[in-house]
Structure 1
């Protein structure tokens, strides 16, 4: 079954977790790990991890074809491309050519195909369900996001040293934080301490 809701729980290697909604499935996927200094946040260690992530809603795509090491490598390549493209757009920089190429390459594969259930009220994904289809679906979503009306709403969290990116789809377009319970509250606490220090 499919759902339009986005967002996942992110875990800090140093302890603690919080719910982060990037506003788009492709951006949620971009936060499953990373390269370089972000490697400590890696959650997709083996093919089964990718399959498990995709099985959760959204996209609630339970693989009917086993996920392979090649699928995992392709997923990480797409993830990095989405991350780089989102950060570039958030900073009003030109998109990296390699990121654009990787997103287009993933989008060229056949996407997931929605299928109406026999009851006529619920949906699923038509089999066979392959990882490449899920990656294509996310790549196509990223293309729509980068070229659509919300392209200017792709933002990096305003928190100090917070690299998380999201699309602000709220009507006022006033979202600043990855999550109020994390960076939003930290900002409020720092502002309160500064105000008290000034008053003192």
Structure 2
């Protein structure tokens, strides 16, 4: 992830749909916006792990739909992390996107690699992301959707660690900041 103040850090949300939720947003999260134009959405979807290279250009309507889905995923993930009821609007938006035809996997001629069967449209990729969110919210990892334990970090992730003890979006960022604060506090109180 890239911080608008400069710098970047490694962040794995544990699910592609949650990675998508972190591509920007509204209000105070507008500074993190990465999906300015339809081509930006196409470029994001083409990156691994989804690697859905569009064979049909992304439209402005699909970009608008993508941002609505992103907000719904964000809202639902935070509600689940806080053990709150999901909003009807978020559920409806996720279900609406999931109802479209998803990406169709295709085995390559060599029989060892896969891709997506053409045509590859943004609507299909959004459906695939929405279906992943449906599975996440209703599956065994549902109770492991967490918000970063840092006071000033709103990132959400799936804690897939064996003990289920992940607290930070990234040890490189928030985890290290916490450790540094704790060290400074200990040093300040040591005689």
TM-score, structure 1 as length reference: 0.95
Residue in 2 aligned with 1:69? 60
Structure 1: stretches of 5+ with no match in the other structure: 1-9
Residue in 2 aligned with 1:55? 46
Q: Give distance in 2, aligned partners of 1:115 and 1:21.
A: 26
Select which of 99, 102, 116 maps to 1:111.
Answer: 102
Q: Give distance in 2, aligned partners of 1:150 and 1:134.
A: 22
After superposing on structure 2, the runs of 4+ consecutive aligned residues of structure 1 that deviate more than 4 Å are: none
| 1:170 CA drift (Å) | 1.1
Q: Quick check: 1:100 aligned with 2:54?
A: no
Q: Give distance in 2, aligned partners of 1:46 and 1:20.
A: 24
**Matches for 1:186-197 after TM superposition, within 5 Å:** 186-197=177-188
Q: Give distance in 1, aligned partners of 2:52 and 2:134.
A: 20
Select which of 3, 20, 39 maps to 2:11.
Answer: 20
**Matches for 1:123-138 after TM superposition, within 5 Å:** 123-138=114-129
Q: Give distance in 2, aligned partners of 1:19 and 1:80.
A: 22
Q: Give distance in 2, aligned partners of 1:102 and 1:58.
A: 23
Q: Give distance in 1, aligned partners of 2:84 and 2:4.
A: 30
**Matches for 1:101-180 after TM superposition, within 5 Å:** 101-180=92-171
Give deviations 1:77-134, integer Å, cap 9, x for gaps.
0000000000000000000110000000000000000000000000000000000000
Q: Give distance in 2, aligned partners of 1:46 and 1:97.
A: 28
Residue in 1 aligned with 2:78? 87
Structure 2: stretches of 5+ with no match in the other structure: none
How many residues get paired?
Answer: 191
Residue in 2 aligned with 1:6? none
